[in-house]
Structure 1
Amino acid sequence: MGPTLVDKIAPAKMDSERSSHSDSRARTIEGGFLSIVILGASGDLAKKKTFPAIFNLFRQGFLPLNQMKIIGYARSPLSDQGLRDRLRGYLKAEHTTATKDSIDIVDKFLDLVTYISGPYDSDKGFMDLNEAISSHEQAEYGKEGPTRRLFYLALPPSVYIVVGKLLRHHCINQRGWTRVVVEKPFGKDLASAEELSKELGDLFTEQQIYRIDHYLGKEIVQNLLVMRFANRFFVPIWNRDNIANVQIVFKENFGTEGRGGYFDEYGIIRDIIQNHLLQVLCLVAMEKPVSLSPEHVRDEKVKVLRAIEPIQNKDVVLGQYDSYRDDPTVSRDSRTPTFAAVVVRINNERWDGVPFILRAGKALDSRKAEIRVQFRDAPGDIFKCKKQGRNEFVMRLQPSEAMYMKLTVKQPGLEMSATQSELDLSYHQRYQDIVIPEAYERLILDTIRGDQQHFVRRDELQVAWQIFTPLLHQIDDAQIPVIMYKNGSRGPLEAEKLVEREGYVRTSGYIWIPPSLKQEK
């Protein structure tokens, strides 16, 4: 049989890729037998995100073929083959039609997957899990070889502690490192987050805990530090003297869709703003770190969070889309906001007076996530172009990843008239031969490498909750009105007024169109 896709792509791929990736792959593969354990393996998160991310790392050669095992653990009564059959449809070897090579690489990966059924509160279940891990380690490396154990908790936070205790008691690695990945939400407010942090901290060191926020793994978010600190023309203008306001926006054009029960307990601020958007804000606003050491980067993020002023009620607009309560899993009298616009103010020398507007909502008119940095008007408007709109630097996180600068240019023709256009770096046009990795791929790889730069540190989590907990308690106590808005709209009109009040100038007659859509037209 000829070489399979893993032989073609993973170890060799292309000479150029071999030189650029050889060091990073070696760092990943070296270090002993690797056991990746997914707890909650039969759930949606595991089959849609976790397993596919691990598969893509394996397919690209970042994980060792003969030095690893992937073990699923859950309560569902499945066999090894039963789990493999569930996963197969979510593992995409290529972006084109299936070939024999692509089928082979899926089969190679699934051969590494085994399954153990057991409860999350049983000593026996975790003793069985440890025995399975140990047997694979010994089969490959004997009783003395180095080993690595990664436990991914694709589970509700309510069982983190009981599972953590059983992992600590029965499954801790004695021949190498142990790392534990936990998913958000990390608590519901400051008190519950601190309790969770304390209990996890009693079981594992901070170096062993990886609090995953998948927004920190997105390509454009990862590019923020490079863009800000490696380009001379951004360095002198990235401050209050030149920037009028910053918007960080998350929009979905669908509602809760089966997650109503979960969402109704948490709401849009806990689900999106307090974690995802606040993390992005830190990268936009932070000072240049001493180095790219994970601790140096996270130190600067914490400094930004500590400089944020208490949120005022006048700076908040909450909304709920009109059909939200039609979901049978949602309370009929629910006041849970599905939309929020929050103005955050940073009290430091760089950002004094610059509003950071965090907006997130479901059932809106479009789906996108982006950062919009709007600059102040150019003084001395000799071209009478203020009506065209201001300069903006926009970072589109999803979909159609891009960075573009909205700027005023001369309208082609005989007349001296100004119009708005853009300098555009659209990733799918500029990097046509490069597959942009999913956020979970990058973060799982970082966990294996022991790089915590893109994970949330305990003190960072604490300060983030300190910012939002007073507001969340007011919302829970019905002290802030929740305004109804139409499904498919831009959200409450009051949010538009809030953004306008904070100085955002909307561009008239200009819409950015991704190059891929332009070509289709």
Structure 2
Amino acid sequence: MLPEVRIIGSGRHTPDEDLRELVRQEGDDWDEFASRITFVASSADDGSDLAEAVAVAEKELGDEATRLVYLSVPPSAAGGMVRMLEREGLHERAHLVLEKPFGTDLASAKELDEVLLDVFAPEQLFRIDHFLGKEAVQNILVLRFANGLFEPVWNAAHVAYVQIDVPEAIGIEGRASFMESTGTFRDMISTHLFQLLGFVALEPPTVIDAKGLHEEKAKAFRAIRALDPAKVVFGQYEGYRDEDGVADDSRVETFVALEARIDNWRWKGVPFYLRTGKALAEGRRTITIGFREPPLEVFPCTADGEPNELVLELTDDAKVYVDLRAKKPGPALDIAHARLSLELEQAFPDDTAVEAYERLLLDAMRGDHTLFTSTEEVERLWALCDPVLADPPQVQSYAQGSWGPQAALDLPGDRGWRLR
């Protein structure tokens, strides 16, 4: 799908190993593709070698060449790198992709936005959140808006709760510096999980495009009630402080669970439960829509108290299923749980899913902002998160391989978490 490209990696130091060997892939076309990859060192103070390498690449590609600049740097370094791009003229004809987190709080996010918009036009900016590039996440929109079965019941009259659950089985995997400076709340809640909430909760846009989705997500975020400190749980897995690079008295959270409420006509009274963390029982990405019970029990026996649930597994081989009750075969009117399932790989065997970053980088090249986040969304989410960061809850310990602190397990009440 790529056009003719040249890829220039850059960082403060040249890697010990050739970049092409670091990213080597198997395949007959690799050697030809690898010939397009180079590396030069650069920093916020000096980008001259990078500018020269870009000039050489553009001369090879011709006058129609455009630039895609991808910044995967800490928020504290982003402003300086943007100014370097401006000094070297690399902002011209460029699309700039920014990796999250976008700032560390509302004030720093606004400062970064001022620098960005001083150098780049809004249409040049692409704030990337790779969760939004997942096939399964986009399928949320299709399930809702392309099927008369779901949209009429996608509201508080029929939905009892929503769970957005992204546990990770791995620990920090040598990323102590990042975790100590950022924490899980900034890394996951203010970005990935709230963005998933936006896809679940938004009103139907007039058309599925960048403007429509950004407007409706921003409206949903504006309707989120201020987070109740009593409904936010921070945790830290046992042994985290023994990791290399972690302070002996660290209070950084490796786990967050919270309840959010949306005060609008569609969602008034429906709790949204968000959970994510490191070193948990398993790695999953699951959205669960729990439906209300029928108003009258007409059968003399009920399977049990577990309700109907629509479950979206946000894996690369995306799955959607509905848990419901059905009559067990046999002479008695016995009720049991059954499942309707949709596996995308089986439903579309001749089609290949595109990995999230593949999709988003291709969109950035094409100038399509649909699956990227807007300035308004980013600033509204920081406004929601800032009070929690200013006065965080006490960090509670939890065992590695568990589902987090007991306070988090209790958060959804008697129903509990689907993943448990």
TM-score by length of 2: 0.95
- Which residue number corresponds to residue 32 of structure 2? 108
- Which residue number corresponds to residue 391 of structure 1? 308
Distance 1:438 1:318 in 2: 31
- Which residue number corresponds to residue 9 of structure 2? 72
- Which residue number corresponds to residue 150 of structure 1? 68
Distance 1:251 1:140 in 2: 44
The secondary structure found in structure 2 opposite 1:377 is coil
Matched, 1:462 2:379: yes
Q: Between Structure 1 and Structure 2, which shows a larger proportion of helix residues?
A: 1
Question: Which stretch shows the higher mean deviation, 198-207 or 355-364?
Answer: 198-207
Closer/same/farther in 2, CA of residues 464 and 173 from structure 1, 3 Å limit: closer
1:414-455: CA deviations, max 9, x gaps?
321111111111233333443322110000011011011111
Matched, 1:288 2:204: yes
Which has more radius of gyration? 1
Aligned pair partner of 1:131 in 36, 42, 52: 52
C-alpha displacement of 1:128: 2.9
Distance 1:155 1:506 in 2: 35
- Which residue number corresponds to residue 224 of structure 2? 308
- Between the aligned residues of both structures, percent identity stands at 39
Aligned pair partner of 2:2 in 63, 75, 88: 63
C-alpha displacement of 1:227: 1.0
Aligned pair partner of 1:226 in 108, 125, 142: 142
C-alpha displacement of 1:338: 1.5
> Contact 1:268–1:337 at 8 Å: present in 2 too?
yes
Closer/same/farther in 2, CA of residues 264 and 380 from structure 1, 3 Å limit: same
- Which residue number corresponds to residue 84 of structure 1? 20
Aligned pair partner of 2:133 in 217, 235, 249: 217
> Contact 1:129–1:171 at 8 Å: present in 2 too?
no
Give structure 2 stretches of 5+ with no counterpart.
none
C-alpha displacement of 1:162: 1.5
- Which residue number corresponds to residue 355 of structure 1? 271
Distance 1:330 1:446 in 2: 38
Q: For 1:382, give the aligned amino acid.
A: V
C-alpha displacement of 1:386: 5.7
C-alpha displacement of 1:487: 0.8
Distance 2:359 2:237 in 1: 34
The size of the alignment, in residue pairs, is 419
Q: For 1:148, give the aligned amino acid.
A: T
Matched, 1:483 2:391: no
C-alpha displacement of 1:86: 1.8
Matched, 1:265 2:202: no
C-alpha displacement of 1:178: 1.0
> Contact 1:388–1:419 at 8 Å: present in 2 too?
no
Closer/same/farther in 2, CA of residues 140 and 258 from structure 1, 3 Å limit: closer
Question: Which stretch shows the higher mean deviation, 128-137 or 281-290?
Answer: 128-137
Aligned pair partner of 2:321 in 391, 404, 422: 404
Question: Which stretch shows the higher mean deviation, 412-421 or 372-381?
Answer: 412-421
- Which residue number corresponds to residue 160 of structure 1? 78
Question: Which stretch shows the higher mean deviation, 232-241 or 428-437?
Answer: 428-437
Aligned pair partner of 2:332 in 393, 410, 415: 415
Distance 1:115 1:365 in 2: 40
> Contact 1:389–1:506 at 8 Å: present in 2 too?
no
Distance 2:134 2:241 in 1: 32
Aligned pair partner of 1:494 in 384, 407, 415: 407
> Contact 2:85–2:91 at 8 Å: present in 1 too?
no
C-alpha displacement of 1:137: 2.3
Closer/same/farther in 2, CA of residues 282 and 77 from structure 1, 3 Å limit: closer
Distance 1:304 1:72 in 2: 38
- Which residue number corresponds to residue 276 of structure 1? 192
Distance 2:203 2:366 in 1: 26
The secondary structure found in structure 1 opposite 2:321 is strand
Closer/same/farther in 2, CA of residues 305 and 423 from structure 1, 3 Å limit: same
Matched, 1:179 2:95: yes
C-alpha displacement of 1:369: 0.9
Aligned pair partner of 1:435 in 338, 352, 364: 352
Closer/same/farther in 2, CA of residues 262 and 385 from structure 1, 3 Å limit: same
> Contact 2:204–2:216 at 8 Å: present in 1 too?
yes
The secondary structure found in structure 2 opposite 1:428 is helix
Closer/same/farther in 2, CA of residues 306 and 347 from structure 1, 3 Å limit: same
Give structure 1 stretches of 5+ with no counterpart.
1-61, 93-101, 513-521
The secondary structure found in structure 2 opposite 1:303 is helix
Matched, 1:117 2:48: no
Distance 1:485 1:129 in 2: 46
Aligned pair partner of 2:157 in 234, 241, 257: 241
1:9-65: CA deviations, max 9, x gaps?
xxxxxxxxxxxxxxxxxxxxxxxxxxxxxxxxxxxxxxxxxxxxxxxxxxxxx113x
Closer/same/farther in 2, CA of residues 84 and 386 from structure 1, 3 Å limit: same
C-alpha displacement of 1:382: 2.3
Q: Which has the higher contact order (CA 8 A, sep 6+)?
A: 2
Q: For 1:266, give the aligned amino acid.
A: T
Q: For 1:458, give the aligned amino acid.
A: T
> Contact 1:130–1:170 at 8 Å: present in 2 too?
yes
Superposed CA RMSD in Å reads: 2.0
C-alpha displacement of 1:201: 1.7
Distance 1:362 1:213 in 2: 19
Distance 1:358 1:299 in 2: 23
Q: For 1:130, give the aligned amino acid.
A: A
Q: For 2:33, give the aligned amino acid.
A: F
Distance 1:280 1:158 in 2: 26
> Contact 2:91–2:119 at 8 Å: present in 1 too?
no
1:153-204: CA deviations, max 9, x gaps?
1223322112111111213365xx3111111111111111111111222121
1:280-313: CA deviations, max 9, x gaps?
0001000011112201110000000000111112
Distance 2:195 2:101 in 1: 14
The secondary structure found in structure 2 opposite 1:318 is strand
Distance 2:22 2:253 in 1: 35
> Contact 1:390–1:505 at 8 Å: present in 2 too?
no
C-alpha displacement of 1:388: 4.9
TM-score by length of 1: 0.77
